[in-house]
Amino acid sequence: MHENNIELLCQEAERLLELNIDLLQKMLTEPKVLGDSNAQLFDRSKAKKRIEELQGEQIKISNKEMVLAIVGTMKAGKSTTINAIVGKEVLPNRNRPMTSIPTLIRHVPGKSTPYLHLGNVEPISKLILLLNKKIETVDGKQRVESLRKDKEKEKLLDILTDDWLKDNYNGEVEIFKCLSALNDLVRLATELGSEFPFHDYSEVHKLPVIQVEFSHLTGMDNSQGTLTLLDTPGPNEAGQPQLQAMMRDQLQKASAVLAVMDYTQLNSEADEQVRKELNAIAEVVAGRFFVLVNKFDQKDRNGDDADTVKQTVPTMLENGLLSSERVYPGSSRHAYLANHARSVISQGNQLSAREGWVNDFMMMAGCDEEDLADREYVLKRANKFWQHSFFDRLISEVIQAAHTKAAALAVDSAAAKLVQNSESADEYLALRHQGLQASIHSLQTQIKDLIKDIEEVAACQQEVDKEVKFVMGEITHETKKLLNNAESKLEKELDKYFQEGKRQEEALNKEFERHSKHDKNNRGESDKRGVFGTLLGAWAGNVGLQSRDFDPENPEVKFSEHAEAMQFIKKIEESVISILAEKEKEIKPMLTKIVGGH
């Protein structure tokens, strides 16, 4: 019944995961739903990352796999902790950073010899080819020369041949060689000014996988799924800033997290970086988060005891992420060496001092090479240091419990990711909905204001049209009146001209008035008239004003020459034009006054 329920839960989780992935895909393909800005709550890059996470959950659900991420700072003891859990040295320990890219260590019952499947080797092969070309350049040669000045760094150049690169590695020695080479390749790429292709290993199914039987899970029921450890790079590994983002990404994808903290460095800056990353994913790993406070064996008489550590560590994290019951003070080194020794003896074998880890065990246990022949004594010492490692509770409450409930925890992890995705998408879409509603409301208000403005403009237009019509009526009336009056006067002037044949009196009067305005004497009108009369008479005689254009009494005008006739016609034309021009001058200011007055 229990197994059936788990199966039903897995099926439902897979269905919901598929629905969520489909929703995110539609949000990506639909134009203008998601933006490209990383400042937004939910953008295209975040949607793509979320799809990767949910697809990873699909794989874990289908395999009923619970992924426990091991995270910690450089030299906090991540690799040693994993070796202690597995019971073998599947991950190498060196005095420099070792985790170049995340690596999965999967429990496979009966797999006594560890086996590494690298799989995605093409990006690494391309990098090696690129680096070989780069060292032939001027800049590359200078960098190589600089490397050769440091004996340790000079060794990095040995990995530029790809004879070590293959899909599969069998046994601890080959695995050690592969992982060490990968780590050195990361360092060499940095030294030569290139980047390791970390992005090609961002998805779970592209990560290197080590398959091996965990000694503490031997003989346990595997029907409810399996446990896989995820060795993540620390934020300060090999000076690679990309690894911090990679660690955050892998923590987000893990089913649960085991943080390895250094007892001697609990308040260090490096541990602070890890705490920030853990706080950032607090909601996702809530209830599935554990802390191993490693190197507790280095406690001196002034150091905090186990109970104090269990109470102190949770306060370093926010939002109630961790309870004291999930804090495990211990020693990964003691646990690994003791467990490895117990495993060898349980198989009926004897420890050999030719193996490096055995020398470490002898130093820890305080025995010599002769003591190794006494397996009972060695087992007794191993059991003692196993107890001193305080690893029993961690193994039973975290590792074995995680394996037993792997399927259920995988579903729980998927559910947490679904909730997170739902909340993020819902919050984003709600904000977009509010924004659209606000935009619609604003648009409706603007439309109403615009309609009101149009109505007001129309009303103004009517008033203006009415006013213009009235004014135009007045202007037309007054203009018509003016033109009629002008036309009447013009007709009289023309009639007079053709009756008399001259314009003498009017011209003389105008000249008289013009000159009289400039007279500076105070003489009487009669005096002015007498003086100017004489002057005007003389002037008129000079310009010909006293002569007529024609004799109106004579019905016929005869000319001896055509030129004389044309001159006669021209004179009459000029006089008529002159009369018209004078009337036009009189009309213009009056028309301007009429129009300007309205």
Q: Which residues of 96-133 are buried (b: 16+ CB within 10 A; e: fewer)?
A: ebbbbbbbbbbbbeeeeebbbebebeeebeebbeebee
**Structural contact between residues 367 and 380, judged by C-beta atoms closer than 8 angstroms:** no
DSSP class of residue 233 equals: P
With H, G, I as helix, E, B as strand and everything else as coil, classify residue 20: helix
Q: What per-residue confidence (pLDDT) applies to 102?
A: 84
Give kind and range of the element (H or E) at residue 125.
helix 122-134
Token readout for 218 is: 């031997």
User: What is the phi/psi pair of residue 67, to 5°?
Assistant: -100, 115
β-pair type (168-170, 256-262): unpaired
> Residue 75: which of 289, 233, 212, 207 has the closest Cα?
233
Report pLDDT for 1: 44
Cβ–Cβ < 8 Å for 135, 142: no
Q: Which residues of the chain have pLDDT under 70?
A: 1-7, 10, 36-41, 93-100, 223, 234-249, 269-271, 281-284, 319, 409-410, 413, 427-436, 438-439, 503-547, 597-598
**What's the pLDDT at 503?**
66
Beta strand pairing status for 226-231 and 103-107?
A: antiparallel
Angstrom distance (rounded) from CA 243 to CA 307: 33
pLDDT of 509 reads 53
Q: Are 435 and 251 in contact (CB under 8 A)?
A: no
pLDDT score recorded for residue 282? 66
405, 221 in Cβ contact below 8 A?
no
pLDDT score for 152: 81
Residue 535, helix vs strand vs coil: helix
Residue type, position 586, single letter: E
The position carrying tokens 């009067």 is 509
In the structure encoding, which two tokens stand for residue 372, read together? 């190794």
Lookup: tokens for 26:
């539609």
- Looking at residue 234, what is its pLDDT? 66
- The pLDDT value given to residue 88: 85
490: closest CA among 366, 583, 390? 583
- 576 C-beta neighbours (distance < 10 Å), count: 16
Report which secondary-structure segment, H or E, holds 294.
strand 289-294
Amino acid at 224: Q
Question: Quick check: helix, strand or coil at residue 105?
Answer: strand
DSSP 266: T
At 258, give phi and psi (nearest 5°).
-115, 110
Alpha carbon distance, N-terminus to C-terminus of the chain: 101
d(CA 585, CA 536): 24
Specify the length of the chain in residues. 598
Going by the DSSP 8-state scheme, the letter that residue 399 receives in this structure is: I
Distance CA 535, CA 537 (A): 5
Helices 562-596 and 406-500: crossing angle in degrees, nearest 10, is 130
Using CA atoms, how far apart are residues 28 and 42, in angstroms rounded to an integer?
A: 11
**If you ran DSSP here, which 8-state letter would residue 296 be given?**
G
Instruction: For residue 215, give the nearest of 433, 403, 357, 439 by alpha carbon.
Output: 403
* DSSP 8-state code for residue 96: S
Backbone angles phi, psi at 230, to 5 degrees: -120, 110
* Residue written as token pair 């880890």: 357
Q: What average pLDDT does the chain have?
A: 79
Who contacts 483 (Cβ-Cβ below 8 Å, separation ≥6)? Answer: 587
Which pLDDT score, from 0 to 100, does residue 520 have? 46
User: Measured between alpha carbons, how far is 171 from 80 in angstroms, rounded to an integer?
Assistant: 17
- Which one, of 339, 297, 263, lies nearest residue 85 by Cα? 339
CA–CA gap between residue 12 and residue 5 (Å, rounded): 11
Q: With contact defined as beta carbons under 8 Å apart, do 147 and 153 qualify?
A: yes
Phi/psi at 40 (5° precision):
-75, 160
Q: State if pTM tops 0.75.
A: no
Dist. CA 206–CA 451, nearest whole Å: 61
Tokens of 275: 């705490």
Tell me which residue has tokens 């495993």. Answer: 343
- H helix intervals, 266-388: 269-280, 282-285, 306-312, 332-346, 356-365, 375-388
